[in-house]
Amino acid sequence: MESTVPTLSRKAQIDYTATVLFRARGFAATSMRELATALGIEAGSIYSHIKSKEEILHRICFRLADAFFAGFEEAVLNEELPVAERLRRAIESHVQVLTQDVAASAVFLHEWRHLSEPARTEFLQLRERYEAGFRQLISRGAATGALRAPDPAFATLTLLASLNWLPTWYRPDGKLTPEDIAHRLTDQLLLGLEVEKLGS
């Protein structure tokens, strides 16, 4: 494993290293001893910085949740903009959060199941509230004829599922920047693949 950035605080180093391990091995398969070894410290000394590995998972999940909400709220804040434009901005914001820290995004999307109560229920409530924001936006667009979405709930799940696949294939050193990906995904999701026939 590559060494962590020296300027990071010890807690930040722990979070960074744990995030990489959780993504590669899964939360359940990563032990505190392995985390300590990856950090180059004694297993016992890691407990002077954190109480448990779930504490790290909690920080990752809720930090990302805050970022998603902040981006969405900023994207839809201006109600004078057309619904389609606000949805476009919300999608682009979602992509930006996902690509900012791909390892953390992957952990957020797949390892939240290992949160214990009451954090797990709180996380699920946040996820539902976030999805509801997209669902309401799409419903509004469908009601005004700005969006073609006979079933806003289905459209929302399809949209988010498409976006959340991103951490599995995105590479920071790839040809496409996060901005390129955001624009392309937004066009694909909002405009679709079918070419409209003249006179239809």
Number of domains in the chain: 2
| 2, burial (CB in 10 Å: exposed 0-12, middle 13-18, buried 19+) | exposed
* Inside any domain, residue 133: yes
Identify whether residues 30 and 63 lie together within a single domain. no
pLDDT at 24 over 90: yes
Identify whether residues 173 and 97 lie together within a single domain. yes
* Inside any domain, residue 16: yes
Identify whether residues 87 and 166 lie together within a single domain. yes
12-33: average pLDDT: 95
Q: What is the pTM of this model?
A: 0.88
Tens-digit pLDDT profile for residues 143-175: 999 999 999 999 999 999 999 999 999 998 989
The per-residue b/e assignment along 15-45, b for 16 or more CB within 10 angstroms, e otherwise, is bbbbbbbbbeeebeebeeebbbebbebeeee
Tens-digit pLDDT profile for residues 168-177: 999 989 899 9
* Inside any domain, residue 200: no
Cα three-residue angle 50-5-111, rounded to 5 degrees: 50
Given this model, what pLDDT does residue 4 score? 45
CATH number, domain at 18? 1.10.10.60
Identify whether residues 32 and 120 lie together within a single domain. no
Identify whether residues 41 and 59 lie together within a single domain. no
State in Å, rounded, how far the first CA of the chain is from the last one.
57
Cα three-residue angle 150-82-145, rounded to 5 degrees: 30
Identify whether residues 44 and 66 lie together within a single domain. no
If one compares 151 and 196, the residue with the highest pLDDT of the two is: 151
Nearest to 134 by CA among 61, 187, 63, 69: 69
Range of the domain at 19: 10-48
Identify whether residues 99 and 187 lie together within a single domain. yes
* Inside any domain, residue 198: no
